[in-house]
Structure 1
Amino acid sequence: MLQAVLNPTTAIKPMCLLTAITVMALVARIHGTDKAVREAGFRVLPRLKPAYMPVVLKIINAPAPLAHMNQFVETLPEHILTMKVSTPALPMLDVG
């Protein structure tokens, strides 16, 4: 924790594409503006692997990012929304 405070540049944790899309979808739902969706995309962009960046950049660079984000979420396949995590996010809490 102290390392994250002293050196915030090395404290950036990588983010999967599903998490990035979830963040942007929540921002779209809560704020409902193109500007908010675009700013959220720019915030998650440095945490993504280079292979996933084009997906977020396509949303950010759309003429209407909010509408593009809404359409993107509506067309997500059901298996992505219900996928199971193979490893828990908090391994310290894994008692099984």
Structure 2
Amino acid sequence: MNLTDATLILLLAERIHGTDEGVREAAKSVVKKIPRGKRDLIYNVINSPSPLELVRHVAQNLDT
């Protein structure tokens, strides 16, 4: 698994679950499956007070 796969999983969790806890649980399930050097984004989502908003922000800025 790479960071692109993990990001896609977070975007899908946001779309499917639509809750902070759903997104946080998805992030927890993938964090150990990606290389250590690429885990910063996933840990930011896990530790965020509002992971749903963070993932939405990431989604809005994917093209930049």
Q: Name which structure has the greater RCO, CA cutoff 8 Å, separation 6+.
A: 2
Structure 1 residue 27 and structure 2 residue 17: aligned?
no
Unmatched 5+ residue regions in structure 2? none
Q: Which structure 1 residue ranges, 4+ long, deviate > 2 Å from structure 2?
A: none
- Segments of 5+ residues of structure 1 without an aligned counterpart are 1-14, 79-96
Q: Does 2:52 match 1:52? A: no
For 1:49, the aligned partner's letter is: P
Larger Rg: 1
| Higher normalized helix content (fraction of residues) | 2
Letter in 2 for 1:76: L
Q: TM-score normalized by structure 1? A: 0.64
Could you tell me which residue of structure 1 aligns to residue 60 of structure 2? 74
**TM-score, normalization: structure 2?**
0.93
User: Identity across aligned pairs (percent)?
Assistant: 33
Q: CA RMSD in A?
A: 1.0
Q: How many matched pairs?
A: 64
